[in-house]
Amino acid sequence: MEATKQGNTETGSGPQDALVILEADHRAVEKLFKAFEKAEDDDLDAKATLAQRACEELTIHAMIEEELLYPAAKEALPDSDLIDVEEAYIEHFLVKTLIAKFETMKAGDKGFDATFKVMSEMVGHHVEEEEDELFPELRKSKCDLRALGVKIAKRKEELQSKLDAVGSKLVGDKTAIL
């Protein structure tokens, strides 16, 4: 528990715990999903903006988890029967497949809302598994979550600045530019 308190620096004066950063990402995406749900059916601009922002957030988040979190989890939890990092990779693949659909769809198109809803449900399931299973196991492990947090924060900043540089207009395969 002490590592959690140390890592969760509210003042921003020190490195954050990796899991605190990722949980904040989860909450941010959940807010976007809820806002989309509440958007009026005919408010296509709001829906398009919310979908785009969710796709951008999810793309950056998935890249960070795949590049940094999951390799650290495999190393820290090599014998865990409870944690299935391979399942997380598959869930990311499925979400990225749905994100790619938004390249050819726009708000108001048949299937747009349904695609977003399915993506929201898949992400909700994925977040629940991470926060209920993977994250608690990592907290008990010898994984240095503060050092990992430094790497995650740096990589997240790099990816966000690249996205900002292209005008944050791409919804689909941003991995080509990132």
> Domain range spanning residue 138?
2-6+15-173
Flag whether 178 is in a domain.
no
Flag whether 87 is in a domain.
yes
Total domains present in the chain: 1
Flag whether 111 is in a domain.
yes
- What does the pLDDT read at residue 163? 86
Q: Where are the beta strands (DSSP E) in the chain?
A: none
Give the chain's length: 178
Flag whether 25 is in a domain.
yes
**What digits encode the pLDDT tens for the residues 97-155?**
999 999 899 999 999 999 999 999 999 999 999 999 999 999 999 999 999 999 999 99
- Rounded to whole angstroms, the Cα distance separating 147 from 138 reads 13
Q: What is the dihedral of CA 6, 3, 132, 83, to 10 degrees?
A: 140
**What digits encode the pLDDT tens for the residues 26-65?**
999 999 999 999 999 999 999 999 999 999 999 999 999 9
The mean predicted confidence, pLDDT, of the chain is 86
